[in-house]
Structures are given as structure tokens and as C-alpha cells.
Structure 1
Amino acid sequence: MTLGTLSVFEPDQCFDLLMEDFNLTPSNPSTFILNGIPGLEDAHIWISIPFSMFYIICLLGNFMVLFVVCKEQTLHKPIFLLICMLALTDICQCTCIVPKALCIFWFHSKVITVVGCFTQIFFLYVLGATQSSVLLIMAFDRYIAICHPLRYATILTNARIAKLGLVGLIRAVLFVLPMPILLRRLSFCANHVIPHTYCEYLTVVKISCGDTTVNQMYSLVVLLVTIGSDVILTGLSYGMILRAVFRISSKKANRKALNTCTAHICVILMACTPLVFSALTRRFSQGIAAHIDILLANLYLILPPMLNPIIYGVKTKELLDKLRIYTCRMLSPGASDFKPA
């Protein structure tokens, strides 16, 4: 009702106006809400079953590889050191997202602190960039093994591999560190709900009510400088490997040389294909359902870590033989004298 020039509102109308004003007011939240997989809330319990199974298999497989390589002196070689680096990044990457996702699915524990969210982003991107570096070093290892076999032992020592891995880790930290700092500069309105199972950088950026141009551009730079450059250098390594292999007259030698690369190629394809697809769809596609996009984003962080130890265990004979021995010892203590065929 209107009285002169004064308007008198009902209490509910006043509350709505206050809430509307609040929603447009930037704020610095202390917590975010991880919403899980939007549209599939009723299926969260069922989705948690494969998630937990994949995580358990990932931990068992990668810890088994680490244990066997550490225990066996004959496996203290550059390629197995690289496999251990890959196993460590796989374990850490899965552990960054799966426990929190399972808490959301099982206990509806959706709250995550801002510090916890930004920390999760930092470690996820550092681990992703480090894993990319390890895969590049593996490609370099295969190039030296095939193109310069007589110089392999002098070029690639365990100490040199460790230093290369450390350089990859330092590079990842230096490039990723500005990302959470840039996030801290953003203003967040009343909507603090992240429609995801974990804090994914671009998803957090999208719920901000400020200008996010710098954040989006820098995330693209990090992707291109780290993973993009590693993919290009890996491709060049394999180009030189193929040129060297095709110069070998013996078909048997050709197959043997290429067979040493199959495990690494499979791991690269598994790591890069879903990552590139998810990154492109997240940036440029608006037609993919949100739950499909989120499921893909989870699978590319869970499936490769689960499958990597299986691939290297099957395709690397030395490692496979040792894994068989230790598996038989664990399953049957009387089988300690087992010798692989």
C-alpha cells in the first residue's frame, strides 16, 4: 500500500528485496558446497560402487609396483624408476579426489573450506603437470634405448632420471602456484555451490561474479606450456624412434623395438585422450549434459591410475616376472620358490 510518497511493504516483500540485494553483493566465502553429480543425486550410492572399486584397485596395483621395484635390486634401473614416479603421481591424484567424492556420495558431506578447495586445485594441477613430465621423460628414455642403445647406460643413469623428475615437479609447482592466488582475487556472490565432485579450476572460476578473463587465460597458458609442450616433444621423440626403426632391415628387430614402446604409448593415449576431450568440451562446448561432463572429468583422473600398473605389469617382462613371484608368495607362503616360465 502507498501512503503519500512512502511505500509500505509486507515483511515477505522486504525479505525478498534484501535477499536479491545480498545475491548481487560480492562476498568472500569461508566454505564452498560440492554438489556431487547434478541430476544424478539419486544414483550417488550406485555411482560410489565403481568409484570405490577403481580406487582400491589403483592403490593395490600402484603400491604393489612400488613395493616390488623397491625390494628387487635387479629393477633399480631408469625405466623402473620412471614407472615408480608414475605410480606415485597416480596414487596421489586419485587420493586427491576419490575420498571426498565418496564422502559426498555416502554421507552427503558436501562442505569444503575455501583453503581446502584451493589446495585441492593446486595439487591436482601440480600432479597432472608432473605426470605429463614423467611421460615425456619416458619417451626420451625409449628414444635413447632404441636410437642410441650403446650410450644408454651413460646417458640415462638413476641419478639423472631423478633430477629430471625433480625438474618436472619444480616446473609444475612454479606454473600452477599462481592459479590459487588468482582465485583468491575473485569475488564470489551468494552462490557458493560448485556443481562437481571436486574443486575443478574452471568450475570454481565460473561461479565467480567478477571478471574471470585473466583466470581463464592463465589456465589455458598452463595447459599449453606444460601438457601441450610435453605432448609435442613426446611426438617428436616417437617420430625419431619410428625413423630409426624403419631403417632397421630386420623385421624381427623392428617388432622388438616397437614392442618396448607399446606400454608407454598405451599409457599416453589413456592419459591424454580423455584429458584433451574433457578440456575442450569444458571450454568450447555447451551441448554436453552436465552430469556426463562431470563423470568424464572424474574418469580421466581415476581410470588411467588404475590401469597404468596393469599395463606396465603385463607389457614389461622383468616387472611381470617379479610381480608373479611376490603375488604367489602372498597368496601361498609355500610358493616362495616359484620360478616364472
Structure 2
Amino acid sequence: MSDSNRTDFTNPSTFILLGIPGLEAAHIWISIPFCAMYAIAVFGNFTILFIVKREPSLHGPMFYFLCMLAVSDLVLSTSTLPKLLSIFWFNSREISFSACLTQMYFVHSFSGMESGILVAMAFDRYVAICHPLRHSTILTNSVVAKIGLAVVLRSGILALPYPLLVRRWPYCRTNIISHFYCEHIAVVNLACADISINNYYGLFDLFSVIGVDVFFIAMSYTQILRAIFCLPTKDARLKTFGTCISHLCAISALYIPDLFSSLMLRFGHNVPLHVLILITGVYHMVPPVLHPIIYGVRTKQIRGRLLQLFAYKEI
């Protein structure tokens, strides 16, 4: 590590992650809430997967999409949080160049996957409310599998240029990354080359994933609200809209922190670096923590199954 500050260094075999620069003395204390959130995310999402697998009545499109969301939450949080905790607890700061690129790919791929799954869930709500009699014939198991495959392929393909572009640049300044994971911009800023293409592709990916997905979700809910307002009674409207609350909360849990984080990273030039990195860390943990809580509390079938499990254990 003594050579890592040399100005004449060539392409590194490893990078050094600083964690949260400026808050090194507080790393142990900061690790406590992050460790708690990671434990909640792992326990909550595995519980969702376990309940859906064990309960045949939950073997339907909405719960299949929920399982996909749980898997993506698990992979996304596991891509960054264990390394963050190893930095905080064991001062394990080194990460190989190939591991760095792999981590970067997983973060971008599964972030896009989460957004795509929320679009699929919005489509499920649209069919269930606007075409209830045709729901089982439209969203068959094969259609759900094709939608899931399309989401995975889209995210995987769009995330591929990130590590490929990073790999092609020469690195001659330093191998020290002022972050707790291999964040794309934090890595390419170390390159001794014009990285404009990385910035342009990042914006293209943002608009082609988040922009397109938000558009389709908005279109789905426009049709859903039109169908709800056509219902004859207030109770029927409230009951039907109640079936969308969990999904709307899941959307908020993903997009609001994402929007806030993106705005802070791009326009928060006067914000201290450690604050921006903390915001990024919280953004990576909010959706995996909140999604199982939202669906566990708001979805009657999952809530009922959870209560049955706990009641069985008490007996």
C-alpha cells in the first residue's frame, strides 16, 4: 500500500477503497446501522422467498414478480455491503481489478433489473384491475417467464458497457478510490484519458432505463386510475386502489432515494464528499430493506402466512 500514492504508477492489479473518506474515526459506529439494515434486508427477502415457495396459493404472477424483486434486492445489497463492512471492521480495503469490474457490473445490472421488475408489477396491476376476467389468460406462467427473461437481458446488456469501458482506459495516477465500492464515476476519474464517453453512456443508461420505466409505470397507473374512477361506489374504489398501495410504496422506495442520490451527486458540488458517499450507501440499502417490509405488512396473503408461521413456532 505504500506505493499506492506514487505518481508514476501504471495500470493497477488492485484498487484501494477508502470507505467513507473523512469519517475514518467513525467507521465502527457507522457500520452498526448498515449492518442492521443488511441483516433486515437478507432476513426479509429470504422470508418472502420462503413463504411464496411454501404456499401454493401464492404461486401467481404478482408473487413471482415479488420473488424476482427479492432476489435482485439480495444480490444488489450483497454486491456492496459485505465489502463495506469488511472495510469498517477489518480495514480490508484492497479489491482486485477484475473483482472491481464485477462489482460494478452487478450493481448497475441489478439496479436496472429492480426498475424493470417494478414495470412488470405495474403491468400485472393494470391487467388485474382493467381486465380482471382475462388476468389468468394474459399473464400465464410462460408470459411471466418471458417478461422476467426480458428484464434480465435488458439490464444485463445495458450494464455491460460500464466494465468494458472502464477496462480499456489506462490508469497512471493512483489506485485509491474515494468510495466504499467500485462506483463507476469514482473509478473512471482515476483514468488518464478522456472519459466523456463514460459520462454520456451513464446518462443514456439513466434515461433509457429509469426514464422509460417511469413512463410505462405512469401509463399503467393512468389506465388503472381511469378504471378505478369508473367503479360505482366509493368503497369499491378504495378497495381496488388498496391493491396497488404495496406496489406504489415499492416504487417510492426505489425511485425517490435514486432521484435524491442522482441529484446530489450531479449538483451537490458544495456538499462534502463523505455526505455524498453516505447518501449513496443509504440509497443502496433503502429498497432491499423496505420492499419486504412493505409487502409483508401490506399484502394480506403474506401477512397471514407470516402470522401462521410465528403462531406455529410458539406452539
TM range (shorter): over 0.9
Map of 1:107-146 to 2, 5 A cutoff? Answer: 107-146=90-129
Among 66, 82, 107, the alignment partner of 1:83 is: 66
User: Following the alignment from structure 2 to structure 1, what is the Cα–Cα distance between the partners of residues 135 and 54?
Assistant: 24
Task: For residue 112 of structure 1, give the secondary structure of its aligned residue in structure 2.
Answer: strand
Q: Is residue 279 of structure 1 aligned with residue 262 of structure 2?
A: yes
Q: Is residue 230 of structure 1 aligned with residue 213 of structure 2?
A: yes
The answer for the alignment partner of 1:158 in structure 2 is: 141
Give the drift of 1:32. 0.6
The answer for the alignment partner of 1:59 in structure 2 is: 42
User: Following the alignment from structure 1 to structure 2, what is the Cα–Cα distance between the partners of residues 321 and 38?
Assistant: 45
User: Following the alignment from structure 2 to structure 1, what is the Cα–Cα distance between the partners of residues 32 and 21?
Assistant: 18
Give the drift of 1:299. 0.8
The answer for the alignment partner of 2:76 in structure 1 is: 93
User: Following the alignment from structure 2 to structure 1, what is the Cα–Cα distance between the partners of residues 93 and 53?
Assistant: 38
Among 24, 37, 42, the alignment partner of 1:41 is: 24
The amino acid of 2:26's aligned partner reads A
Among 198, 206, 224, the alignment partner of 1:241 is: 224
Give the drift of 1:26. 6.9
TM-score (norm 2): 0.96
Point out the more displaced range, 96-105 or 227-236.
227-236
Residues 90-144 of structure 1: per-residue CA shift (max 9 Å, x gap): 1111111111000000011100011011100001111011111100000001111
The amino acid of 1:150's aligned partner reads L
Contact 1:263–1:311 (CA<8 Å) still a contact in 2? Answer: yes
Contact 1:36–1:101 (CA<8 Å) still a contact in 2? Answer: yes
Task: For residue 32 of structure 1, give the secondary structure of its aligned residue in structure 2.
Answer: strand
User: Following the alignment from structure 1 to structure 2, what is the Cα–Cα distance between the partners of residues 196 and 257?
Assistant: 44
Give the drift of 1:284. 3.2
Give the drift of 1:205. 1.6
The answer for the alignment partner of 1:13 in structure 2 is: none
Give the drift of 1:27. 2.4
Map of 1:250-269 to 2, 5 A cutoff? Answer: 250-269=233-252
The answer for the alignment partner of 2:198 in structure 1 is: 215
Give the drift of 1:242. 1.1
User: Following the alignment from structure 1 to structure 2, what is the Cα–Cα distance between the partners of residues 73 and 243?
Assistant: 32
The answer for the alignment partner of 1:12 in structure 2 is: none
Q: Which has the larger radius of gyration?
A: 1
Percent identity of equivalent pairs: 45
The amino acid of 1:219's aligned partner reads G
Tell me the C-alpha RMSD between the 2 structures. Answer: 1.5
Task: For residue 172 of structure 2, give the secondary structure of its aligned residue in structure 1.
Answer: coil
Matched pairs, number = 312
Give the drift of 1:300. 1.1
Among 187, 202, 205, the alignment partner of 2:170 is: 187
User: Following the alignment from structure 2 to structure 1, what is the Cα–Cα distance between the partners of residues 190 and 269?
Assistant: 16
User: Following the alignment from structure 2 to structure 1, what is the Cα–Cα distance between the partners of residues 295 and 188?
Assistant: 37
Structure 2 residues without counterparts, runs of 5 or longer: none
The amino acid of 1:127's aligned partner reads F
User: Following the alignment from structure 1 to structure 2, what is the Cα–Cα distance between the partners of residues 322 and 103?
Assistant: 36
Contact 2:257–2:286 (CA<8 Å) still a contact in 1? Answer: no
Map of 1:196-207 to 2, 5 A cutoff? Answer: 196-207=179-190
TM-score (norm 1): 0.89
The answer for the alignment partner of 1:337 in structure 2 is: none
The answer for the alignment partner of 2:156 in structure 1 is: 173
| Deviation beyond 4 Å, 4+ runs, structure 1 | none
